[in-house]
Amino acid sequence: MANTIGFIGGGNMASAIINGLIKKEVYSENNIFVSAASQNTVDRLHKTLNVNSSQSNAYVVENSEMIVLSVKPYMVFKILDEIRPFLRPDQVVISIASGITLKKLTAALPQQKVYRAMPNTPASVNMGMTSISTLLDQNEPSLVQVEAIFNAVGKTAWIDESLMHAAIAVHGSSPAYAFVMIEAMADAAVLEGMPRDKAYTMAAQSLLGAAQMVLDSGLHPGVLKDQVTSPGGNTIKAIAVLEQDGFRSSIIRAMHAAAEKSRQMEEGN
Ligand SMILES: NC(=O)c1ccc[n+]([C@@H]2O[C@H](COP(=O)([O-])OP(=O)(O)OC[C@H]3O[C@@H](n4cnc5c(N)ncnc54)[C@H](OP(=O)(O)O)[C@@H]3O)[C@@H](O)[C@H]2O)c1
């Protein structure tokens, strides 16, 4: 494992990954370097995560073996122009920016080993899902190191880059869909008289448990659904309403919209 890691951009996603890396003791705080645009964020990163933080991107590049590009997509190439003079050929660069292709990253960084990753914010509680793509050979030694970073904060999957749009829809954006569902479930429970704090715990814990059952059992989700729907019971009544309201097709259309947006971003970058 590389000893030092740097993040250019210290916002939501970088903070989530850093949190996970520290919790899992993959990197110690003093081996993590982060830059951000504002002094406010720099101070917050130091105060909340106890990492080395700075407004200088050169400082991060000079101190890090692995570099994670975690700025907004529109900033990526501007930042690459800025840090190029400080980069060494042995450094590994991982971009987590949506819509920035490996072809463009590799063209901008011909000397570096380049990866594209799509993580999600549950990385902050070590329950992340990250898809990773690279144009490098399967025997490239840094593959193992890159996977280890994201394995430390959840699960990883190597995918062909053409599947990145699907990955963005199914796990990049989906925590937000789940938050909306938890909020709606809690509202419904509150409507039935449940105190709000209990309602959020109950809704979140049941989604967490259901997801864990899918992962642990390996059973088709439909089989698990059948197991909890007794004839004429409460659950099938609820499922019937969800079907009537187009729950499944709404999710499919929503995710297709996310993938389409991702395709547009890629074309625009
Ligand atoms: N959020 C997600 O769920 C998610 C999931 C997968 C991938 N991503 C990708 O992750 C990337 C970051 O997203 P985010 O949600 O973390 O965004 P964010 O919270 O807005 O963070 C962006 C960070 O970049 C910093 N920054 C801006 N200009 C900079 C500069 N010139 N040099 C160094 N740092 C600079 C900002 O500093 P200040 O704080 O000082 O403004 C901020 O800390 C995006 O490319 C996004 O596509 C996000």
Mutate-to-test residue for ligand 1 from 8, 12, 82, highest number of ligand atoms within 8 A of CB? 12
- Residue 2, pLDDT > 80, answer no
- Residue 1, pLDDT > 90, answer no
* Ligand 1 mean position, distance from CA 13 (Å): 7
Q: Which domain holds residue 180?
A: 174-268
Cβ-Cβ contacts under 8 Å for 243 (sequence gap 6 or more): none
- Residue 24, pLDDT > 90, answer no
Q: Which of 164, 182, 203 is the last residue of a domain?
A: 164
Is the beta carbon of 70 within 6 A of some atom in ligand 1?
A: yes
Amino acid symbol at 265 = M
Tell me the C-alpha distance between 172 and 166, whole Å: 9
Q: Which of 164, 188, 218 is the last residue of a domain?
A: 164
* Phi, psi dihedral angles at 63 (to 5 degrees): -100, 0
* Ligand 1 mean position, distance from CA 204 (Å): 27
Query: Do 52 and 13 have their domain in common?
Result: yes
Ligand 1: which residue has its CA nearest to atom 19? 11
CA diameter of the chain = 69
Q: Residues 159, 132: contact at Cβ < 8 Å?
A: yes
Amino acid symbol at 40 = N
pLDDT at 124: 86
- Summarised one tens digit per residue, pLDDT across range 225-262 is 999 999 999 999 999 999 999 999 999 999 999 999 99
- Summarised one tens digit per residue, pLDDT across range 150-194 is 998 999 999 999 999 999 999 999 999 999 999 999 999 999 999
Q: What DSSP state is assigned to residue 208?
A: H
Query: Do 188 and 76 have their domain in common?
Result: no
Query: Do 23 and 149 have their domain in common?
Result: yes
Ligand 1: which residue has its CA nearest to atom 25? 9
pLDDT at 162: 96
pLDDT at 268: 78
- Residue 18: count other Cβ atoms within 10 Å of its Cβ: 26
Ligand 1: which residue has its CA nearest to atom 20? 11
* Structural domain count, the chain: 2
Say if strands 113-118 and 128-134 run parallel, antiparallel, or are unpaired: antiparallel
In this prediction, what percent of the chain has a pLDDT beyond 90? Answer: 90
- Residue 167 pairs with which residues in a beta bridge? none
Residue 95 lies in a domain: yes
Q: What is the dihedral of CA 145, 148, 149, 155, to 10 degrees?
A: 140
Tell me the C-alpha distance between 40 and 22, whole Å: 22
Is the beta carbon of 36 within 6 A of some atom in ligand 1?
A: yes
Amino acid symbol at 80 = L
Query: Do 203 and 130 have their domain in common?
Result: no
Please report which confidence band the pLDDT of residue 9 belongs to, taking 50, 70 and 90 as the band edges. very high
Please report which confidence band the pLDDT of residue 269 belongs to, taking 50, 70 and 90 as the band edges. low
Looking from the CA of residue 176, the nearest atom of ligand 1 is: 3
- Summarised one tens digit per residue, pLDDT across range 27-39 is 999 999 999 999 9
pLDDT at 267: 85
Residue 169 lies in a domain: no
* Ligand 1 mean position, distance from CA 133 (Å): 20
CATH number at residue 261: 1.10.3730.10
Is the beta carbon of 8 within 6 A of some atom in ligand 1?
A: yes
* Ligand 1 mean position, distance from CA 97 (Å): 8
* Ligand 1 mean position, distance from CA 194 (Å): 37
CATH number at residue 29: 3.40.50.720
pLDDT at 205: 98
Q: Residues 5, 91: contact at Cβ < 8 Å?
A: no
Q: Which of 164, 192, 227 is the last residue of a domain?
A: 164
Q: Residues 105, 114: contact at Cβ < 8 Å?
A: yes
Q: Across all residues in the chain, what is the average pLDDT?
A: 95
